[in-house]
Amino acid sequence: MKRSEINHIITETIGFFREMNFWLPKWAFWAPPAWRGKHELVQEIVQCGLGWDITDFGSGNFEKIGLINFNLRNGVMNKTRKTYCEKIIVVNENQVTPLHTHFIKFEDIIVRGGGNLVIELYQGDEHFKPTDLPVTVKVDGLPRTMKAGEKVVLTPGESIFLEPGMLHLFYGEPGKGRVLVGEVSAVNDDSTDNYFVVDGPRFPTIEEDAEPEYLLVNDYRRYL
């Protein structure tokens, strides 16, 4: 991804959050110079990977395959007292997050506003490969058994609980607008706890065609 594209995506996303009356911490808006000299102050942010996470999953086509995350709170497995994570996510219409699961993390995916979120589900085998077995999930606490690959459409206010080994891909339903999605989960580690059925990078390779206007979680160590 180009840095100029990432700058534009974040600026546009901030506008969407404001439209949805969702407010970010003040450091979400810091330009790179504002981070300098704050190494000790921002240790939790850096250690726990809080902040902006923009990815195209190595696709080279963010609009088709991509995701906007802001990690609001998190811990580090076996290192911090926090055993939970919260994210706010923006999913555009027909913008796919590829089929994946997690080795450890269980999560609630909640549609907070905007359009509808479409989730396709498969039960993984012992090697996390998709099977044709039925999938039983809980939508707002109510169990629902579905065929392999069947779609769940979540409207604003609805949520789904996903366990490790439950393979899922998702995208915004066409014609319904971009989706504001919350995630509440166990501690999140995007470096080690993701399994994608089609192997690819979780974080993008960035072409530095412009100066960053905001820092991503994978920028911190270079700038600090």
Could you tell me which CATH number the domain at 3-223 has?
2.60.120.10
Q: Are 59 and 200 in contact (CB under 8 A)?
A: yes
Contact 96, 151 (CB under 8 A): no
Q: Could you tell me the pTM of the whole model?
A: 0.95
Q: Sketch the domain layout of the chain as residue ranges.
A: 3-223
Q: CB-based contacts of 175: which residues, under 8 Å, 6+ apart?
A: 93
Beta bridge partners of 30: none
Mean pLDDT of 92-113: 97
Q: How confident is the model at residue 109 (pLDDT cuts 50, 70, 90)?
A: very high
**Predicted local confidence at residue 221, as pLDDT:** 86
**123, amino acid identity:** Q
Average pLDDT over residues 70-99: 96
Residue with tokens 């039925």: 134
pLDDT tier for residue 224 given thresholds of 50, 70 and 90: confident
